[in-house]
Amino acid sequence: MEFLAILVALGIVQLRGSTPLQHDRWYAGYRRWVAARLHGIPRQAVLILVPVIAVVLLQRAASGRLFGLAELALFVLVLLYALGRGNLAAALTDYLQRWSRGDFQAAFRQLSTEAAGGLPEPDAVVHPQALHELARRRLYYRHFERLFAVLFWFVVLGPAGALAYRIVVLEREASRGESGMPAGAASAAVVEPLGGAVDDVAAAAVDDVEVGAVAEPALEAVPAAVEESALLRWIEWLPARLAGISFALVGDFDACLYAWQRVMAEARLATAEALERCGNAALTFAAPAVEATTDTLIARGSRELQAIENLNSRALLVWLAIIAALAMIF
């Protein structure tokens, strides 16, 4: 049942890019209602457990009805809601268009427009290479948060597990918004070209650019401070390490296995960094030459992001094969 639900849900996402079920207004209202009555750990527990218990009760009520079709429909609907938000493929294409023409400021603005994106401090991205590394890490995490973590908890705990993970992610982002963390740094960094002529926009100061002008983010954000949420870090710990070892199966096995072993030795490593270390090793990414020109960096950056996209697609096939095998065994 779970494997069939996964195939149906992924098929819908593949065709549509995103789903109409992913509206979170209900959670915002529910969160305000709970916050007015509870605080601290009880508040966090109620926020997660009440929707999860509701899904468990619905699953029990649907079990065996309509020859199993009612339960399958519930599984698909919950999974579609739990999967990551937005159309990542379209967002990546948009980002690469700006990056490829050397419009680094516009590319950075796209990263900064994601709500509660947790962008770095104004001086953290001072060079196109730093911008590329930020985008690269975000792409790894967005694939993980969008698919791998959700699938892991769906297989382990059913639709209740997938929903619980999504609620923890929503709570992390809502808490970040309350703490005043900007969705994007208005004074973001001045991105300087490596060498050679690029568009004037690329060398313009960010102060002259209106950050809010971009409606759609290109890479929907990798939370730069995943470690802020201890609960989320531990919920993501095991699926992130499994995703890392799956990169080894579809990339450079020896290099990735070595990186994965070092990641395993650092239990408190942020999820995004763990994924990036394993992914970069699987793809054998090397540090760019110091004397690289802007055109060289642009070409290299585009190739690397496309390689990350392909790596995650291959890793997803590995996960589906393993899930199918588990479904046949159990």
The pLDDT tens digits of the residues spanning 136-156 come to: 999 999 999 999 999 999 999
Query: What is the three-class DSSP state of 103?
Result: coil
Helices in 179-293 by DSSP H: which ranges? 200-203, 230-250, 253-264, 271-282
**For the chain, percent of residues with pLDDT exceeding 90:** 54
Whole-structure pTM value: 0.82
Residue 247 has pLDDT above 70, yes or no: yes
pLDDT at 127: 79
The C-alpha atoms of residue 162 and residue 48 are separated, in whole angstroms, by: 11
Read off the tokens for 113: 């427009």
pLDDT at 179: 61
The pLDDT tens digits of the residues spanning 255-287 come to: 999 999 999 999 889 999 999 999 999 999 987
Task: Provide the number of structural domains found in the chain.
Answer: 1
Q: How far is CA 271 from CA 149, 154, 316, 318, 328, in A?
A: 11, 19, 18, 20, 31
Q: Could you give the dihedral angle defined by the CA atoms of residues 150, 152, 156 and 157, in that order, rounded to the nearest 10 degrees?
A: -10
The rounded radius of gyration (Å) of the Cα atoms in the chain is 21
The pLDDT tens digits of the residues spanning 249-258 come to: 999 999 999 9
Confidence band for 112, pLDDT divided at 50, 70 and 90: low
109: closest CA among 207, 199, 226, 224?
207
The pLDDT tens digits of the residues spanning 291-318 come to: 678 888 899 999 999 999 999 999 999 9
The pLDDT tens digits of the residues spanning 231-240 come to: 899 999 999 9
Read off the tokens for 201: 């926009």
What mean pLDDT is predicted for residues 83-105? 87
The pLDDT tens digits of the residues spanning 51-87 come to: 999 999 999 999 889 888 999 999 999 999 999 888 8
Read off the tokens for 12: 């819908």
Q: Which amino acid is at 100?
A: S
CB atoms within 10 A of CB 240: 27
The C-alpha atoms of residue 96 and residue 4 are separated, in whole angstroms, by: 34
Residue 31 has pLDDT above 90, yes or no: yes
Host domain of residue 71:
2-329
Asked if 109 and 176 count as a contact pair (C-beta separation under 8 A), the reply is no
Residue 220 half-sphere exposure toward CB, CA atoms < 13 A: 18
